[in-house]
Chains A and B, each alone.
Chain A
């Protein structure tokens, strides 16, 4: 199984809502990532987890809260988002945080109204 599965595929939320994005992999990878991609722009790194510990936070606003419950799962909790947060949120995993080969999911397309 070389897949990274993200749910939901699409999400529409209001600015006062709380929602969560989920990501799962069963490749035994110990590093997991969240990237954000605006339309027609390249992906931008948000967070890196290594062995279930947050190792990198790219100065992401606190309305985005990552969580890694175990080595296979990665969540991104969303609260009080702004319309400019509308984007494709991509999850990825790799054997380790220093590994060159990242496997990406297909992303969650988020719209904030």
Chain B
């Protein structure tokens, strides 16, 4: 069963904010939300992660709803170089073995348009 649901694709105009949604309605209390992205011909790149509170770093902001059933990754000023597949991943904080590892879903193909 998929732990996260993301739209298959999205477009965003260059310079505008890109808001990428993720549904994780079955998330449990000890599971974090992680975001990675994969630019074409490169390996995935860590963006941000959070548990309950909203998080911000130099790349993006992560907004998690109060019930934690969904989240939004925000790229405040998208550039052409942000065109990539964005993966939302739910990962337990305390676990062992395979359950603790990153499991990628299908992701969202974000295309930033000039």
Do A and B form a real pair? yes
Hey, which bits of chain A sit against chain B, CB under 8 A? 4, 33, 42-45, 48, 55-56, 58, 90-92, 97-98, 100-107
Q: Complex: how many Å from CA A6 to CA B91?
A: 26
- Among B29-67, those with CB < 8 Å from A are 32, 34, 36, 38, 41-46, 49
Extra contacts besides A98-B100, A104-B44 (19): CB < 8 Å: A4-B43, A33-B101, A42-B105, A42-B106, A43-B38, A43-B44, A48-B101, A56-B98, A92-B44, A100-B34, A100-B49, A102-B36, A102-B44, A102-B46, A104-B45, A105-B43, A106-B41, A107-B42, A107-B43
CB-CB nearest in chain A for B106 = A42
**Residues of B within 8 A of A (CB-CB), count:** 23
CB-CB nearest in chain A for B97 = A56
